With several copies, the nearest count.
Chain A
Amino acid sequence: MSDARSRMVARAAQEIAPGMVVNLGIGLPTQVVNHLPADFPVCLHSENGLTGIGAMLPYDKADRNLIDAGGAYVSTVPGSAFFDSAVSFALVRSGRLDLTLLGAFEVACNGDLANWKIPGKFSPGAGGAIELAQKARRVVVMTTHCDRKGNPKLLDACTLPLTARGRVARIYTDMAVVDVTPDGFALRELAIGISVADLRAATGAPVTIPHSDIPTF
């Protein structure tokens, strides 16, 4: 992982406040837990029916019946609980999920999120993404600032089918921390070595820049 991505993950870990119930999307978001202290009070939720996700396990130590929603073999912690898929999403929809960190194909400056379908190319189904994005109390995106071809993922409006409308509150990228505000994107922090001009060039919508010093991460 690049240095900027590592710092993005470490920075995003600060989203997690003590006592939260948190769902971490597959991929980079799951790595934020590596930046939390051992005694940090938090509950990790997995859509397939688990609160209290423990460490990932190597194949030779795995329990064949214990996976997370991404299919990784995980363990329990003291106080873990298993439940069925209906209860799992009851928790999501009823406001008990304080935070979700999700990946994205596109995020619009009004908080729209597209992260499940690229028509004609990638359409495996949304799984639980729509409910996570639509109902978590706080929806935060973690993504590279641009796609593999260098095109911006932070846009004026999403071009892909939506996952949820107007729900993204904040975006962590390898270039910046950007909030979604009533006035659109607002820069909060810059990655070390990134200038405002770099950010503007890599972003597909206007970004409000603070007048004061811009913190770095």
Chain B
Amino acid sequence: MKLPDKTLNIPDAIAAIPDGATVLVGGFGVPGTPFTLLNELARQGQRDLVLVKNDANEAGMGIDHLIGNGQVRKLIVTHLGLNANAIAAMNSGALEVEFCAQGILAERIRAGGAGLGAILTDIGIDTELANGKQLVEMNGSAMLVEPALRADVALIHAAIADPFGNLGYAATARNFNPLMAMAATRVIVEAEALVPLGGLAPEAVETTGAFVDHVVELTEISQEYGIVRR
């Protein structure tokens, strides 16, 4: 026995995404955003997408390209603060935006990855984020039902991967990536470095390859991944 090889090229990995797909996108700001996979998705032009991401990147990078192309029907996000384009698209009605508390978005995705139905939480009670949500009484307190969020596809950025899809992340580029890597039917990973099986120690693996479908190695780290001088 040996562990299966899941390496693939970028165009073929992205070509498996159909129109209308719900897509989880890793990253918090620049770190951990799979820019190369997103650029290929922009190039291939799949439409009517529902994107789930912490933020909307900044104007001119990452998912902003997809929003600008009109490929995105809906965005589930915790904030849009740094992307004026996305705010404008939301305000004009061109883009449907669902806001979620940051940790609850993380938990909803994790619940999807963990095969749970939902979590019960009091986060957001007394705020407009509770509007329209199912309530359950538990020990005399009202709790919100926050449904698990599972997607068709997850686009993940890793610092290091092996061919089975075991992953390691760099610093705060971890963020939503390990959660999203558990929560999609098709998990596509771009890795800055691809090492042979055994190149990642079992203790150092942050996402087991058992959750991963495709691994692509980045041949260059483009400027988008770099320092942003504001």
> Does A73 belong to the interface (CB within 8 Å)?
yes
Taking CB atoms, residues of chain B closer than 8 Å to A71 are 29, 82, 228, 230
Given A93-B103, A161-B128, CB of A59 within 8 Å of CB of B229: yes
Taking CB atoms, residues of chain A closer than 8 Å to B54 are 85
> Does A197 belong to the interface (CB within 8 Å)?
no
> Which one of B13-21, B61-69, B178-186 is at the A interface?
B178-186
Summarize B's interface: helix, strand, loop or mixed.
loop
Who on chain B is nearest to A44 by CB? B1
B residues 101-125 with Cβ under 8 Å of A? Answer: 101-107, 109-110, 112-116, 121-124
Shortest CB-to-CB span from A87 to chain B, Å, is 7
* CA A59 to CA B228, docked complex, whole Å: 8
A-contact 0/1 string along B152-189, CB 8 Å cutoff: 00000001001110100111111111110011010000
Q: Which of B81, B116, B126, B179 is the one whose CB lies under 8 Å from A127?
A: B81
Question: How many A-B residue contacts, CB cutoff 8 Å?
Answer: 231
A84, B106: Cβ atoms under 8 Å? yes
Shortest CB-to-CB span from B125 to chain A, Å, is 8
Given A41-B3, A130-B123, CB of A81 within 8 Å of CB of B115: no
B175, A124: Cβ atoms under 8 Å? no
Who on chain A is nearest to B105 by CB? A85
Taking CB atoms, residues of chain A closer than 8 Å to B205 are 81-83
Shortest CB-to-CB span from B74 to chain A, Å, is 14
B103, A66: Cβ atoms under 8 Å? no
28 A–B contacts from the bound complex (CB under 8 Å): A41-B1, A48-B175, A49-B172, A50-B171, A51-B208, A51-B210, A64-B225, A65-B172, A65-B173, A66-B31, A66-B171, A71-B228, A79-B162, A79-B164, A82-B171, A83-B174, A84-B176, A85-B176, A89-B115, A93-B103, A93-B115, A94-B114, A94-B150, A96-B211, A124-B81, A125-B79, A130-B129, A131-B103
Chain A interface (Cβ < 8 Å from any Cβ of B): 18-19, 21, 33, 36, 38-52, 59, 62-69, 71, 73, 76-96, 117, 123-128, 130-131, 134-135, 161-165
Beyond contacts A41-B2, A42-B4, A79-B198: 18 other A-B pairs, Cβ-Cβ < 8 A, are A41-B4, A51-B208, A64-B227, A65-B159, A65-B171, A67-B172, A71-B29, A79-B197, A80-B202, A85-B54, A85-B179, A86-B107, A89-B104, A89-B107, A91-B208, A123-B87, A124-B80, A134-B123
